[in-house]
């Protein structure tokens, strides 16, 4: 065990290195740049490679290429850069290329508020790229969680052959706190390899779990990689049966495992009123819930660590055992809409939204909870 004073961005870089990341390509952008800076220093020491690219589109393109060659690879960015990456996110989803993108949210739209926090990129993480496509989005609320979930992000990318978004915000990214790093025997997943000869290998077939093995380029297995709809050999197709098989497999390889992606923390479960929060707001919410309970309010907190696929089973269970819910967010209500969708009118859903570039504070949440109980 080792305890260090780390900010969230440093914890993200350390988590990536611990997970086995050996390639980073990126372009500096506030408030994510510290991830890039640390990777530029540490990757060469481990035999890895760091490249500063000309822009964010090229950055993710290089990451995809490195991953196809067999390396665990990542990039980091913020809102404007993430917008530029959408075409390559769709390509990585279609071609099933594992990669991790650390997205540190800031105020928007456009250039917006480069140094101010926000949670307004949540919907873009799932729906930014066109077409139905698989995606996993994790959300951290502390430096330690950033480390832990970054390791898990690489594990998920390798397990499911898909892009994984490691989502933080300007507050989590720049809050420095004591982080006790785990021992070296963490669970680290590697991508599966084919057990058949190159002649028998179907690069996009279904081996039974919906996730084809992925040999690195240059090691005896040759296959075609494209963003077009393709058959099991990787060649473009417009046959309806082959297109249907491909798209259903891409989505179901993650949704069939939804029970494995119910990651959350819960305090005072089965309370009359539950707060559902994520990211930096979850920290303010925990303080607020404890203060509200001191004032006699029967309230609890559910902190979401997975945003996409949305944790409907967990949220549904919370809704079954409370009377009302408060969803505080630093946007106009992006996760509260998902809560409403799961709720289907059963419980009262309240929102607390802030979009001015300042953090939601514990007193603001307490006041809202008192108003809900009055």
The 10s digit of each residue's pLDDT in 140-155 is 999 999 999 999 999 9
Instruction: Give the chain's domains with CATH numbers.
Output: 2-181 (3.40.50.970), 265-373 (3.40.50.920)
The 10s digit of each residue's pLDDT in 290-303 is 999 999 999 999 99
The 10s digit of each residue's pLDDT in 249-277 is 999 999 999 999 999 999 999 999 999 99
The reply to whether the predicted model has a pTM over 0.95 is yes
User: Residues 33-36: contacts with CB within 8 Å, 24+ apart?
Assistant: 33/9, 34/7, 34/9, 34/10, 34/173, 35/9, 35/10, 35/76, 35/102, 35/104, 36/76
- Tell me what the mean pLDDT of segment 99-107 comes to: 98
- How much is the pLDDT for 1? 77
Which among 103, 50, 53 is positioned nearest to 79, based on CA atoms? 103
Say if CB 182 and CB 152 are below 8 A apart: no
- Tell me what the mean pLDDT of segment 64-93 comes to: 98
Distance (Å, whole) CA 29 – CA 37? 11
The 10s digit of each residue's pLDDT in 323-353 is 999 999 999 999 999 999 999 999 999 999 9
- How much is the pLDDT for 185? 79
- How much is the pLDDT for 88? 98
Residue 170 banded pLDDT, cuts 50, 70, 90: very high
Residue 68 banded pLDDT, cuts 50, 70, 90: very high
Which among 125, 101, 116 is positioned nearest to 30, based on CA atoms? 116
């Amino acid at each position: 065990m080792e305890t260090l004073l780390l900010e969230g961005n440093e914890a993200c870089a350390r988590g990536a290195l611990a997970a086995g990341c050996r390639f980073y390509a990126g372009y500096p952008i506030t408030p994510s740049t510290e991830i890039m800076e640390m990777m530029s220093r540490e990757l060469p020491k481990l035999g890895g490679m760091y490249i500063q690219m000309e822009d964010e589109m090229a950055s993710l393109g290089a990451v995809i290429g490195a991953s196809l060659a067999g390396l665990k690879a990542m990039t980091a960015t913020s809102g404007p850069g993430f917008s530029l990456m959408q075409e390559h996110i769709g390509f990585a989803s279609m071609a099933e290329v594992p990669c991790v993108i650390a997205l540190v949210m800031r105020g928007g739209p456009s250039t917006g508020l480069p140094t101010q926090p926000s949670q307004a990129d949540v919907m873009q993480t799932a729906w930014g790229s066109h077409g139905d496509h698989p995606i996993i989005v994790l959300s951290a609320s502390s430096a330690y969680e950033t480390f832990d979930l970054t390791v898990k992000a690489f594990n998920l990318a390798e397990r499911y052959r898909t892009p994984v978004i490691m989502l933080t915000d300007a507050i989590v990214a720049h809050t420095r706190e004591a982080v006790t790093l785990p021992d070296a025997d963490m669970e680290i997943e590697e991508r599966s390899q084919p057990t058949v000869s190159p002649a028998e290998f179907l690069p996009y077939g279904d081996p039974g779990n919906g996730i084809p093995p992925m040999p690195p380029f240059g090691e005896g297995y040759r296959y075609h990689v494209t963003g077009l709809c393709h058959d099991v050999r990787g060649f473009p197709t417009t046959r309806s049966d082959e297109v249907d098989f491909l798209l259903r497999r891409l989505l179901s390889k993650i949704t069939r495992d939804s029970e494995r992606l119910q990651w959350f923390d819960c305090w005072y479960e089965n309370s009359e009123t539950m707060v559902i929060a994520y990211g930096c707001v979850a920290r303010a919410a925990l303080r607020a819930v404890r203060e509200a309970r001191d004032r006699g309010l029967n309230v609890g907190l559910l902190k979401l660590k997975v945003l996409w696929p949305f944790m409907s089973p967990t949220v549904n269970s919370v809704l079954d055992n409370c009377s009302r819910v408060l969803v505080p967010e630093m946007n106009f209500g992006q996760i509260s809409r998902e809560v409403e969708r799961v709720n289907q009118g059963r419980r009262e859903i309240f929102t607390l939204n802030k979009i001015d570039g300042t953090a939601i504070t514990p007193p603001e949440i307490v006041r809202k909870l008192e108003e809900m109980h009055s």
